Amino acid sequence: MISRTRKNKTRILIVYGQGIASTFAVELAMLFSHAGSEVRAALIDNAEDWVAKSPLQQICGHSVLKSDHQPNWYFSSQTFDAALVISPSNFSQQQFISSLASDPIIDFALKRSKTIYILQNKQLMPDVEACSFQHTVFTEIPAQPLQLNQFFQKVFSAVIAGLAARKKLEKKTFHINYKVPNALKAVVPASQTWLRKLSEAFVSAGFSATEGFIDNPDIFIEAYDGPMIDAEAKLYFATPVEQLEQENQTDGQRLIRITFVAGHISDNRLTPTEKHIFIKRLPNGIKLFDTHGTRLFPDVTGHCSFARLALYIATKISHETVADAPPRI
């Protein structure tokens, strides 16, 4: 079959699950196709009961991937810039989250897609720990069917803008420096869960990690926000002024420096600049200080505060007029 889809640098895979949302989500294939993207469609979780394959085949210009039918494009080496998964079952969703798939269609989507957008019903949305899984963005589907058309239009716009922003970040790098004072290394673990989540959030946003400060990363993150120890072996918390005095002069070549500070430090002692942002960790999120003021990034269902931070920085650097791209819609 000859593809009717206009060629574009963007390639999209849409995986349909069960429910009325999948029925309405045929519009997503039409929106991406009309925008010039190459679109492929797949059905999981007996989606045939909710989605007619004929309209999808006409829109995409290619046969639909199903459990009992593997079209030619399934066997090619092509990859996708993004995969959108519409209301998967809990079992299917766990396969996407764990990256351990028994379903060959889910395995195909995981191996061939750079970013997975899971559009899910409220009752199946994961907790905030899902932010620790790379390249997966969760968005809650509205409960009212009448809101679905507008919702899918917003999803389309956000994905297109997010992919454009990501392309600008392909060569941007970051480094997380977590330097624990020597006298405290015995009691402060060098490897912490939140640092892993922070790193994965920046990778998922499109940045590449560097090995160290010497590589002159575009974003340098000073992550240690714990106590210091003075000459008399007394603990104290460094002020932003003391931290600034320790900065390397090569920061003039850097796009952004992010410094985590202790919650004990008064907000009015933080003096951010265009290139220097301060962060305070909170029990259920983070507090960001930049030249635009103070922003609170909470941990919310399926989208943790570090993911929101990384995507905010991505937007800031790419100069795209996108909030949290790839955003929580």
Q: Give residue 71's pLDDT.
A: 95
Whether 185 and 291 map to the same domain: the answer is yes
Whether 17 and 164 map to the same domain: the answer is yes
Residue with the two structure tokens 């320790």? 246
Q: Give residue 39's pLDDT.
A: 96
In a domain, 98, yes or no: yes
Whether 208 and 132 map to the same domain: the answer is no
Whether 314 and 196 map to the same domain: the answer is yes
* Residues ≥6 apart with Cβ < 8 Å to 157: none
Last residue within a domain, chosen from 127, 150, 168:
168
Q: Give residue 289's pLDDT.
A: 96
What is the pTM assigned to this prediction?
0.68
Whether 163 and 19 map to the same domain: the answer is yes
In a domain, 328, yes or no: no
Whether 295 and 213 map to the same domain: the answer is yes
Whether 123 and 224 map to the same domain: the answer is no
Whether 66 and 193 map to the same domain: the answer is no
Cα 148 to Cα 20, 140, 141, 168, distances in angstroms: 9, 11, 8, 30
CA distance 101 to 108: 9
Closest C-alpha among 247, 186, 183, 250 to residue 216:
250
Whether 75 and 91 map to the same domain: the answer is yes
Number of domains in the chain: 2
In a domain, 323, yes or no: no
CATH number at residue 130: 3.40.50.1950
In a domain, 308, yes or no: yes
In a domain, 134, yes or no: yes
Of how many residues is the chain composed?
Answer: 329
Whether 229 and 145 map to the same domain: the answer is no
Pure H helices in 40-138: 53-60, 90-98, 104-112
Last residue within a domain, chosen from 168, 187, 209:
168
Whether 59 and 135 map to the same domain: the answer is yes
Last residue within a domain, chosen from 145, 168, 191:
168
In a domain, 65, yes or no: yes
Whether 161 and 191 map to the same domain: the answer is no
Span 190-245, pLDDT tens digits:
778 899 889 988 887 778 888 766 678 999 999 999 888 877 778 877 766 545 54
In a domain, 210, yes or no: yes
The whole-number mean pLDDT for each consecutive block of 10 residues of the chain, a chain of 329 residues, reads 54 96 96 95 95 94 95 94 95 90 95 91 75 70 94 92 76 90 82 87 84 79 88 75 48 77 90 93 93 89 78 75 42
Q: Give residue 152's pLDDT.
A: 96
Going edge to edge, which strands form the sheet with 208-209?
Answer: 208-209, 173-177, 219-222, 256-261, 276-282, 285-290, 293-298
Compute the CA torsion angle 147, 163, 10, 168 (nearest 10 deg).
160
- Residue 69, classed as helix, strand or coil, is strand
The domain containing residue 271 runs over which residues?
Answer: 173-318
- Residue 41, classed as helix, strand or coil, is strand
In a domain, 122, yes or no: yes
